[in-house]
Structure 1
């Protein structure tokens, strides 16, 4: 099923794709990974182009911002897209410069952009705090998504009872980023199945392989539509957690299946597949991973 963009959404997202084609992509990702650097140049271009303001625009809104995050993910943009395009505007916060790390109070594990973050948004029990960041250095890097421990410095309480909203929009953005990358990884595997020949025929002509790729396609489409629905309906705790749970389950299966289909070549430095699948592993750990999303979806359903 194809998603039909409105007449106002299409030109905006076409302009975004054009910008990302010039300032992001696999080669830019490889270059940044060698220095583990946050892409301040890309952030500057997106900010100047008005893409950080999509959430508040009547013609785009939260769904438009979610679509933009999906495209940034598919182009391997190395910026805190979820924080800048969804979470901060959803909380009514002014945009801040540079990497923004997202975390929950009490979480001691490493966070994305932990080495470069200048600000950290912390979800407490009922409220959020936006604070200056005190990075402890990077622990590892998943091709641009540096992971590191970070502690809040001085900060201000945003508003009361915003923590649930922050977590919900975080899940929507997290899912959108993953969907963009999963679709690219799936497209790479499908093209490989068409090109790779065995027994004098393309391996994609074998029914067993067709079934596996068809199942992945259905799972990715399911994740996409659940995420779009959550964004369109204002990111309720239940819809956001369900979208994230399905997306993370799909992510796990897609990573395994695409690498099995392509074999060792998908993990070589020269091939593009691992640029997407390694980044996807960084997304798997956020907000308690698959179990955390399922647990919160259950709590939201039975608490209502």
Structure 2
């Protein structure tokens, strides 16, 4: 069965949370969530744990009744999706779960990366997007495509080293009612777009010529990386005088959505004094 879980049925005893991934030592989630629960006056534990993908199912089965939820990062989003008893629509569309709400009736999966991307773009004044570009064709690109659909995009170009890698995104675009086309990152020129979302790893090598060509026609750049800044791609925007931002906004907003889920069981239900929660989380990262 798939769908949205009902209203909160969590017991007060469920007070443990964690972020899992492999690797995981770099994760800022404990600082973010710790700051949020401090503002909310909740005495909850939030830790990190390195969990290889092959060990995910066994680790999940080993959690006791004190566990409230998990945040999932690479490479566990697919395994979390398979373990979920229900999925929200964003997780259904992408096949990726970065949040598991643990209840007596099973694990319930959400994808908050999409909301994080969309909110980050809105923070920069992009409340609506017509034409856009995604650089990269991996799992994060799938979330970026759904976020662009939610912002009204009608045409999205996916730029990759191997354009055939964009085939799943082209298929998803058909489901979303978006024209998705693939292009090579080595192209010498690109059509103008309102916004570019870069989903490459922070240390990905992008030649200056490619970065400049993308920047010339790329509109505003959201690079989801929140380390390795500026990236090779972002330096192209610097050279051409374009506007860009890194992935801090996405990180904060997706974490706020996770906190909503862990508090109420509903991603749509705002937190009490959510602005103060977001400010505390931002400060926690800046001080990190």
Fold equivalence (TM over 0.5)? no
Q: Which has the higher helix share?
A: 1
Q: Which has the higher strand share?
A: 2
